[in-house]
Structure 1
């Protein structure tokens, strides 16, 4: 097997393509032949030791995979060789094979391509948990999505529309705005790369204007940094501010705004929720597969890289160049 390994903390250029022995399953384990792996923002942090989870080295990044079961260990009853599955593994996915516990894998519909399956659970799972479980989103509400052209942001647009909401997509360029309109956003706005105090005030005013002066009911913040405060200032009474991620930095929020607006700041830690509420996760996953089957959601894959060039895929996410999802494929390895 081949794997792209992080052998020392660093950027994408520090990853090394390595040949390793094929894994064999032990009791209560399965081995997958990986066909595709989704690339997600935690991958960019994990290889630099900046993520809350720090796997022992060497490790392969890539926590979202799809492929076929090739062998099963003693005691495995729910899977058999040939089963098509996706899995959330945390890391290890930038490889041609991986050994894992059956509990991390889910069978996928025959009609679902491996690339879609590898781009599905992390983004849609995060955004559905955020909008359904944490925001309790209702039809007709206004949702502002910051970082709307990225993986979780684009998933949030599709899901919010499927849930009957009005979506304002906030992005950093016109091509990203066009992408968001193409996938269903009702309105878009382009924010500057750098925000001084005056630019923050202007951004808040623009959001309110798009929301017809009433403010937005839900903010889905996958950006953080200097964008957080103007988004919070644009909220309607009783709004819910979803803290999803902060690639632009961890913001400092004036808490008096939550009092003045009667709003909530709500943390979204989907990975922890999966372990704390497995029944809820199973139910959400079933609903997401139904939405996929009906065509209401579909992973927006904008770039594909072979395993030999997977470092470029991580670099694309680091530079915030990706539209929708980026996928690493193993077909040629």
Structure 2
């Protein structure tokens, strides 16, 4: 079979050996609640690079301690995090994958004992803590934290940065009218709600020349929430700012009923790709090689982001290649077992 899934893909100065991306998935595994890389992270990530992914994106990594989803999240808010991350990127590169990192801030979805912050003082649900509405100074400080996180990511050897603007976390909270009820320059209309992300992109690009992705939730599944049409506009803004690819997910802003089925978010990636004329990544219940190949062959997206399937099978790319009848290079140490 003439597979496109296993052809290289170049973004700026970085070439991925195939179109398969390990999607960022939180591991909640920092043992001392200090945000530092642990032995688990080495085992987890390096095994997937051995398994054959083209790009491996680390889990949401907090740009401030206050921005962690949980106290066990990875962090990049301090220079003490660089050494462990640097060792991790070296192991990923050694095994043929490109290392990427997702920079994030949980906002009102942080589950911490300390104070949490958000664009407006609205809790995620009845069981969640009410966040403090951010001041202008706190907004500016958080933008700076993303910039410093990007600088540290560069020092640690990452080659791709993804901004986490999805799943109801802080950036998504600013974008959505469901949780941003500000009436200043950061709220009140679509352009103002975009301003926080706009400033983060500008800040990161001032210190980062490599590929820059943004993950979005392109449907909020709520009658008063944002839809794919709103996100085509937002993604056009991002393209104008020099974002290289949109990782298209959905949901997470509020509790919602979502009709989930294999590839259920792929149409969203296709619509963003066509409507905003920007490369996209498709994610969400992509589990087989044939399914992934169809997405790439039909140009519905440029990359496939594989999540749970890679938790079940660290060598999912090999499994996909066998399914498609494609021969891929194996680690030298595994050649006799991969024939």
Q: Report the TM range for the smaller structure's normalisation.
A: under 0.3
Q: TM-score, normalised by structure 1?
A: 0.27
Q: Which has the greater radius of gyration? A: 1
